[in-house]
Amino acid sequence: MDIKLLKKLREQTGAGMLECKGALEKFNDDYDQALAHINASVNQASESNRVASKGMCRLEIKGNQALLFEVNAETDFVVKNEHFLTLVDQLATHLIDTNAANAHQALKTTLNGISVDEIIKQKRMIISENVYLRRLYRVEKQETQGFGSYTHNQGSVASLVITDQINDKIANDIAMQITAASAIYLSIDHIDLDTINYEKFMYEKEHKTFDEITFMENLKSKTLLSQPYIKNPEITVETYLNQNQIKVVDFYRFELGQGIDNKLNCRLDIDCDNSKITVTPIY
C-alpha cells in the first residue's frame, strides 16, 4: 500500500486510518475510486433523518457586496469545533468573490479545484455531524449607499441593513436594533395586502379572537420604523433616523434554524415542507 496515498486520503476526507486503508485496498490503491467510495459513505450518512437546526449564520461584506448565509449542523457544540469554524470562514472568503446568489449555486462553485459541495461533504466526515449549507442570500448596494451589520451570539442571528448614505455608526446601530427587536417589516406602508391578511390570520389563530387596535399594535412591534429605538426607547427608530437625516432602504435578518422547527412558517399560498397549505384571505 502506498503510504503517501493513505496520508492524502486521510487529510482530504478526515476519515479514520482503517477506513482509508480499507478503501485503498479495495480499489488496489486507485485514489480516485477510494475517495469516491468514502464520499459515498458520507452521502449515505448525510441522508439520515437527524435534524440539523444548530450551527451558525454568517455575514460577509466586501465593497458593495454582502453575503448572508447559514450553515447547519446537529449540535450546539459545533460552533466550538475548529473544523466547522474553518469551513464557515472558507465559505465566507470564497463565496463573496463568486456570483453565487443562492445555496444551490454556491455548492457548484469550486475552491482550489474542489466543489463547495464536496468540501462540505468532507467536513461532515471529520465533524461526524450532518453539516450542510442551508441558505444563502447576496445583496448588492449602490456606491453612495451604506451597509450596516450586526452578528449576535456566535452567529445565532445576523442582520444586514442598507442605508441611503454611508454612515457606519448609525447603520450598525440599526442592524443591532433589527437583531435585538426581531424586526420583520420596514414599515406598515411597505406591507402588501396578502401579508396583512396572513398576519391577521395568524394573530386570530394565536389569540382566539380579533381586535383591530391590538392587532395593529402587534403588527407595529414587528415593523422597524415603528419600534422603540433600543438606545433611547422614548423615541421610535423612524424619529432617530429623521433626526440624523438618513433612511433605511432595506434590511435582512437571518436567525439560526429559522423555519426548521416550525414547518408551517410560510406566507400565503406558499407550500411549506410539502404541507400543501393554502390560506384564503378572510378580511
Rounded to whole angstroms, what are the CA distances from 239 to 52, 166, 173, 232, 244? 41, 19, 14, 11, 9
| Residue of 245, 240, 196, 236 lying closest to 218 (CA atoms) | 196
Locate cell 448525510: which residue? 46
- What's the confidence (pLDDT) of residue 4? 80
With a cut of 70, say whether residue 90 has pLDDT above it: yes
Residue-wise pLDDT for 3-19, tens only, equals 888 778 777 776 667 77
Cα separation, 241 vs 239, whole angstroms: 5
Residue-wise pLDDT for 186-206, tens only, equals 999 999 999 999 999 999 999
Q: Which pairing describes strands 232-236 and 228-229: parallel, antiparallel, or unpaired?
A: antiparallel
With a cut of 80, say whether residue 272 has pLDDT above it: no
Sheet harboring 132-140: ordered strands across? Answer: 54-62, 65-73, 132-140
| Contact between residue 59 and residue 72 where contact means Cβ atoms under 8 Å apart | no
| Contact between residue 164 and residue 245 where contact means Cβ atoms under 8 Å apart | no
- Side-chain-side CA neighbours of 14 within 13 Å: the count stands at 17
| Residue of 252, 282, 256 lying closest to 268 (CA atoms) | 282
- What's the confidence (pLDDT) of residue 25? 85
With a cut of 70, say whether residue 262 has pLDDT above it: no
The structure's pTM equals 0.76
Q: How many helices (H) and strands (E) does the chain have?
A: 10, 10
- What's the confidence (pLDDT) of residue 20? 80
Residue-wise pLDDT for 20-39, tens only, equals 888 888 888 888 888 877 77
Confidence band of 42 (pLDDT split at 50, 70, 90): low
**Window from 98-112, 174-188, 203-217, 252-266 with minimum mean pLDDT:** 252-266
Rounded to whole angstroms, what are the CA distances from 277 to 166, 192, 257, 259, 269? 43, 20, 21, 15, 7
| Residue of 261, 258, 255 lying closest to 159 (CA atoms) | 255
Q: Which residues contact 40 (CB under 8 A, 6 or more apart)?
A: none
Cell numbers that stand for 165 in this block: 448614505
- What's the confidence (pLDDT) of residue 281? 38
Instruction: Over range 130-134, report the average pLDDT.
Output: 92
Cell numbers that stand for 238 in this block: 423612524
Give me the domains of the chain, ranges plus CATH numbers. 3-46 (1.10.8.10), 54-140 (3.30.479.20), 147-283 (3.30.479.20)
- What's the confidence (pLDDT) of residue 5? 80
Cell numbers that stand for 254 in this block: 437571518
